[in-house]
Chains A and B, each alone.
Chain A
C-alpha cells in the first residue's frame, strides 16, 4: 500500500464544451508520461507523427503519453493502466459529455491512484441556452457542482451577454469553485500537479494562477525568442502562443517547464500567454 499513488484528474463538461480539444492539446503540448482515458478515440486527433503504436484500445505516443479508450468499464481500464510496466506519472480521465464527473471521480480512489481534482469545462457561448433546456438542465447542474475548477471555453466567440449569463448561473450553482477562462490555465493546474489546491479550493481565491499575454514590441528573431523563453522566471509554468518572427514567418510556441516546442504555423500572431504560479 506504500507505492506512490498516481495523481488522477477528471475532465468533465457537456458536449462541445472543449474537453477533447483540450485533451488533444494536452497530449501533444509538451507533457510527458501522461495517460489520458477517453470514452472513445472518435474525436481525439493525434498527429500521425506523434503516434508510436496503436492497439485496439490504446494509442501510445512518442512523447511517452498514452491514450486509452474505455472498453469494458472505467475500473478495468484503470486497473489495466496500473498493470503496465511503466506506470504514468499522471492520469487524466475524460468523462463523457453527459456523465456526472463526481461519480467518475469516485474511481480515482482505487488502490494506486490519488484523486487530484475535477475540472469541468463550460461552453460560455452555449451554456446559458442549454441550461434552459429541461432535458439536460439537471445534467449540466450536476456537472458544475461536481467541479473543483470550472473552465470557461469559447469566450472568444461568445457574446458578452452569453458569458455574463453563464457566469451568473455557474456562480449560483457553485459559488465557491474557482473559475478560469483560458485552457492554458487548466493546463497550468495539471502541470503544477498541485492536487491539494484542487481538492480543497482555497476560500474563494481565484488568483492562485496568473496569466498575462506578452507581445514583443518588434518581431524577434528565432534566437531572440529562444533567449526570451529561456530567461523566463521559474514561476512561469506555461508559455503558449503564436509569434511572428523577424523574417515574417510565424511559429507556435509551446513551453511547459523544461519542455519547449517551436513549430512553424500559418496563423495570425497572438502574442505569448504566460501562466505563472505566483
Chain B
C-alpha cells in the first residue's frame, strides 16, 4: 500500500480502548490518525501507521473515544451559571467543572443566598438562578425566607422555569411594591402583603436592576466563553446556539467570530439566528446570513435559522390540539400568526437555509409541517432537512407527513425525566405523556431525529438525553412511554451524526470518517456495554476538537 509520508509535526495517532465512529461503514476502531485537524484514518494502530505517522499518543489508551456529540438546540445563556450562582434541585456542573450540589429546601436556598450576600457589598443585588420548587416538599418560597438571608441587599431568585422570580422585602421596598400593587403577576399573601413572587417577565421587570443584569449576561463575551466550557465539560464538540440574537449585526458577529476562533475555545458553534426580533425584513435576514456565512470559519457556522411558533407545555402556552390540557388554563400562544408562517419561512427556504422551528404543541407542529409542504410545492428542494424542534407532542400522522416531506425532528427527550411526572398528571395527561418525544415511533417510521437539552433549560450533555431515550424514566422512577424507548445504538446516532444531518453539517462533523473534523468525545466507559440505567453516570474526560484534546477541569471542591 502506498502511503503519503509527508507527515507534519501535527500528525498524531490516538489509541483508545474503543472508538465508536457513528460511521456505519466502519463503526468501531482502536486507533485514529489525525492530520490537519481532520480524520485521516480510523481502524487499528497498524492501519493508522500506514500513513507514515510515528507520533502515537496513548493518553486515551483506557478511554472510549466516540464521534463528538452534537447539540442541535441549546443557548449561549447556558454560560450564565459562571456568573450567577446556581440554586437548582439537581446537582449541576458549572462551566469551571465544579459540581454544585442541589438545593433541597427553602432553608437551604436561604443559606446559599446568605452566603452570596456575605461577599456582596451592602445594597448591591444578590441574584441566583435555577431554583426549581416543583420538587420541593417544603413550604412555598416567599420573601420571608429570603429576608432571613439578608435584609441589606435586594435579592432576586430566578426560577428554573423562567416564568417566576421571588424577591425579598428589601427589593420590594426598593421598587415600591406594596399592598394592592396593580401590576399583573405580583403575588400577595393572605394578609394582602406582597409575598415576593413576580410571575412572568413583565412582573420580573419591576425588579428593574436585577432583571436587566440578568438580561445583559446573555449578550456578554464572557458568557459565550463559559458556554464553550460548559459544552466541553459535557463532551459536546458541536453546539448550536439556537435562537442567537447577535450574529446578524456586525458587532455581535465579530464578537462571536473572535471568541470562537481562539484556540482556547473548545467547541464548534452553529449560530442559528432567531431572525424575528433581530432583523425586520426576512429577505434582509437572508442576505445577512449569506454575508456571515462568507465570513465564518471552521468553528463558526450559520447553515440554519430558528423560528418560534409557540410557548412551553409546562407553562400551558404550547398550542395543542383537541382535547387540550388536562388541568390548568389553556394559554396556548402563537408567536406568529399561523397563516403568515409560510411567508416568514419562504425567503429562507428559497435561499437554501435550513429552518428549525420551535413547536412544542401539536397544533404548531401541524402549522409548521403544512407550511413546509406549501413551500415545497412552490419551490422544490429535496435536501432541505427542515426540522421541528422540541416536537414534544408531535402526532403519528404528523411524523409520517414530516418524513414524507424530508423533514427532521429534534426531540426534547430530557422532558421525560425532568417534567414527565408533571406532564402525566398536570399538563397533557397520561395517554399523550407516554407518547411525548416519540423517538421510538420516529425510529420505526424512518423520520430522522436528534435530541437536545435546550441548555440552560436542562444541563447540557448527551449521555443524559441518551439515557432518557433508552430508559424513559421520570424523576420519580416511573417508565413513561415503554414503546418509545430506543436502542443505545440509535440513541448514539441521534446524539451525533443525525444531529449533524439536521444542521446540514454531516459532511463536516457527527461521525469519525475520513476527511471530516477529528472531533471526539472522551468517555471513561462505553455507553453500549454499561447497564443502560447508568449511561448518564459515565464520566466525561473532555473532548478532542480538530485533533486537539480539551480536558474538562478536574473538580476541585
Partner-B contacts on A (CB < 8 A): 1, 14-15, 39-42, 56, 69-76, 78-79, 96-98, 100, 102-107, 109-111, 115, 135-136, 138-139
Contact = CB atoms under 8 A, between A and B. Distances in A.
B345 to A, nearest CB: 15
A226 B278 CA distance: 45
A15 B340 contact: yes
11 contacts: A15-B339, A40-B280, A42-B280, A72-B215, A79-B212, A106-B202, A106-B203, A107-B202, A109-B183, A110-B205, A135-B367
B281 A111 contact: no
Contacts of B332: 138
Interface string B227-256: 000000000000000000100010000000
Given A109-B182, A135-B363, A75 B201 contact: yes
B219 to A, nearest CB: 8
A98 B363 contact: no
Interface residues of B, number: 38
B182 A115 contact: yes
A73 B201 CA distance: 10
Secondary structure type dominating chain A contacts? loop
B287 interface: no
A96 B333 CA distance: 12
Contacts of A76: 212, 215
Given A106-B184, A106-B200, A1 B176 contact: yes
B281 A42 contact: yes
B260 to A, nearest CB: 21
B102 interface: no
Interface of B: 175-176, 181-185, 200-203, 205-206, 208, 211-212, 215, 219, 245, 249, 276-278, 280-281, 330-340, 363, 367
A13 to B, nearest CB: 11
B200 A72 contact: no
A200 to B, nearest CB: 11
Contacts of A111: 175-176, 206, 208
A112 B40 CA distance: 62
Contact of A98 (B184, B200, B334): B334
Given A106-B185, A109-B183, A136-B338, A71 B206 contact: no
B335 A98 contact: yes
B220 to A, nearest CB: 13
Nearest to B186: A109
B390 to A, nearest CB: 18
Contact of A138 (B245, B277, B330): B330
Given A15-B339, A40-B280, A138-B332, 20 more contacts: A15-B340, A40-B281, A70-B277, A72-B219, A75-B201, A75-B205, A98-B333, A98-B335, A98-B336, A98-B337, A106-B185, A109-B184, A109-B202, A109-B206, A111-B208, A115-B182, A135-B363, A136-B338, A139-B333, A139-B334
Contacts of B202: 74-75, 103-104, 106-107, 109-110
The 5 closest A-B pairs by CB, nearest first: A106-B202, A109-B183, A75-B205, A40-B280, A98-B334
Contact of B280 (A69, A74, A75, A102): A69
Nearest to A130: B339
A253 to B, nearest CB: 32
Max chain B Cβ within 10 angstroms of own Cβ: one of A105, A107, A115: A107
Contact of A72 (B184, B277, B281): B277
B337 A106 contact: no
A42 B175 CA distance: 36
A14 B277 CA distance: 18
A1 B339 CA distance: 44
Nearest to B249: A56
A1 B176 CA distance: 8
Contacts of B201: 73, 75
Contacts of B211: 75
